[in-house]
Chains A and B, each alone.
Chain A
Amino acid sequence: ILNVEQSPQSLHVQEGDSTNFTCSFPSSNFYALHWYRWETAKSPEALFVMTLNGDEKKKGRISATLNTKEGYSYLYIKGSQPEDSATYLCGLDSGSARQLTFGSGTQLTVLP
């Protein structure tokens, strides 16, 4: 079983602050990295699927970068809003078993 780690486990930020968190994975087992947002009482929804080293993707105020050589991805949220409060999950597709191995998530709370 692959080790996908997310940090921090949780964080609280003030509305308007920008924040970022990390997903680390074994660099030798990379095919694609998925980011999902999971709001309380809702289903997880996909944010990004990243495949290329150096790739940067953006959706509104949320962006993600990928470094496959060193085995990490950053998720950035610019100007956090209370509606950004959610658990953010990353999932690694290693390409061999063709399944996603998820980290335990980063729980973000944006305080008004």
Chain B
Amino acid sequence: DGGITQSPKYLFRKEGQNVTLSCEQNLNHDAMYWYRQDPGQGLRLIYYSQIVNDFQKGDIAEGYSVSREKKESFPLTVTSAQKNPTAFYLCASSMGIDNEQFFGPGTRLTVL
């Protein structure tokens, strides 16, 4: 089946450690996105990529890094510089920047 997978579903890390969240899609979509959700807030864009080997910062990119070496993969690294990393992280993809986005199931990161 075509879709977007994120792993793991739950992730626990100690403060000061970097952690990488996985996002893979087999929809042959060019564009991919990373969002963060905090309680009572909407989705906020961290990074997005319109095409392989290219990505742009979203509204809250500080403390995060991404790579887009393959069309189907867009991993997000939460670095120790991110001051409040505990959140729910959603990955999405779309055929192009104008199209509806398809979302993965999300990863809940808790930093202890």
Residue numbers of A with Cβ under 8 A of B are 1, 4, 6, 32, 34, 36, 42-46, 49, 89, 91, 93, 97-105
Contact = CB atoms under 8 A, between A and B. Distances in A.
Interface of B: 4, 33, 35, 40-45, 48, 50, 56, 58-59, 90, 92, 97-106
Contact of A34 (B41, B50, B56, B101): B101
Contact of B98 (A32, A89, A91): A32
A45 B103 contact: yes
Give chain A's interface secondary structure class. strand
B43 A99 contact: no
B42 A49 contact: no
A104 B44 CA distance: 10
A103 B48 CA distance: 18
Contact of B41 (A36, A44, A97, A104): A104
